[in-house]
């Protein structure tokens, strides 16, 4: 059964995740204090064992949140964490949107190039990461993440909420995101 986990700071959780003492001990032994929230600590930190879906859900939730933060907030497209955990052949699709044409990308480089072009055309464009949830399959080899984001700085003073769904695979001891689908929500004025 999938184990959801959330990083939400602004929403009340719909469900909770109960981590047993063994999982909590692994997390506290592996990571000093809250240092595991830093993207740099994730580069060399050991991945949870594939049969421990609770710890894996927590790990992937944090990893996904850090990747989004590096791309959207810090705009650091060359960080080692991205190179390690994003598949070079990452495919991404965007829902049709009247403000932006329907786009699909077959690799990470074209996805990043599109993002850089969007930032140049819209300097006030910003993405706020509201929540990230991970679901790990029982076999511990695949996972999905859902991230709720608010996009501000759109033309005409609009903002939108969007959800992205990421597909993850465990390759050896490394989790890699292989595809992302982005669904855009309703526009509103800020």
pLDDT reported for residue 111: 74
The domain ranges of the chain are 5-189
CA dihedral for 152, 112, 169, 55, sign (positive or negative): negative
C-alpha 147/C-alpha 97 separation (Å) is 18
Q: What share of the chain is helix, strand, coil (3-state, %, to 5)?
A: 35, 35, 30
| pLDDT beyond 60 at 97 | no
pLDDT digits (tens, 9 = 90+) for 13-26: 344 444 444 444 44
Model confidence over 132-188: pLDDT tens digits? 999 998 788 999 999 999 988 887 888 888 899 999 999 988 999 999 998 877 666
Cβ neighbours of residue 176 closer than 8 Å, sequence gap 6 or more: 85, 86, 87, 168, 169, 170
The single-letter DSSP state of residue 73 is I
Helical ranges in the chain per DSSP H? 21-30, 39-44, 53-68, 80-85, 108-121
The pTM assigned to this predicted structure is 0.69
Given this model, what pLDDT does residue 138 score? 72
Cβ-contact 175, 183 below 8 angstroms: no
Q: What letter does residue 127 receive in the DSSP assignment?
A: E
CATH of domain 5-189: 3.10.450.50
């Amino acid at each position: 059964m999938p184990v959801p986990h959330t990083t939400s700071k602004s929403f009340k959780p719909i469900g909770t995740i109960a981590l047993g003492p063994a999982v909590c001990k692994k997390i506290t032994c592996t990571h000093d204090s809250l240092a595991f929230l830093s993207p740099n600590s994730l580069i060399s930190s050991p991945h949870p064992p594939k049969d421990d879906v609770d710890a894996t859900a927590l790990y992937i939730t944090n990893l996904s949140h850090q990747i989004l933060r590096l791309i959207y907030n810090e705009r650091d497209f060359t960080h080692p964490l991205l190179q390690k955990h994003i598949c070079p052949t990452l495919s991404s699709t965007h829902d049709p949107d009247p403000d932006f044409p329907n786009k699909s990308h077959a690799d990470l480089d074209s996805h990043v190039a599109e993002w850089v072009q969007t930032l140049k055309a819209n300097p006030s464009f910003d993405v706020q990461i509201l929540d990230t949830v991970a679901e790990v399959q029982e076999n511990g080899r695949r996972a999905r993440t859902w991230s709720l984001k608010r996009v501000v700085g759109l033309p005409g003073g609009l903002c939108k909420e969007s959800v992205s769904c990421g597909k993850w695979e465990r390759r050896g001891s490394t989790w890699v995101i292989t595809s992302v689908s982005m669904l855009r929500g309703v526009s509103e004025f800020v």
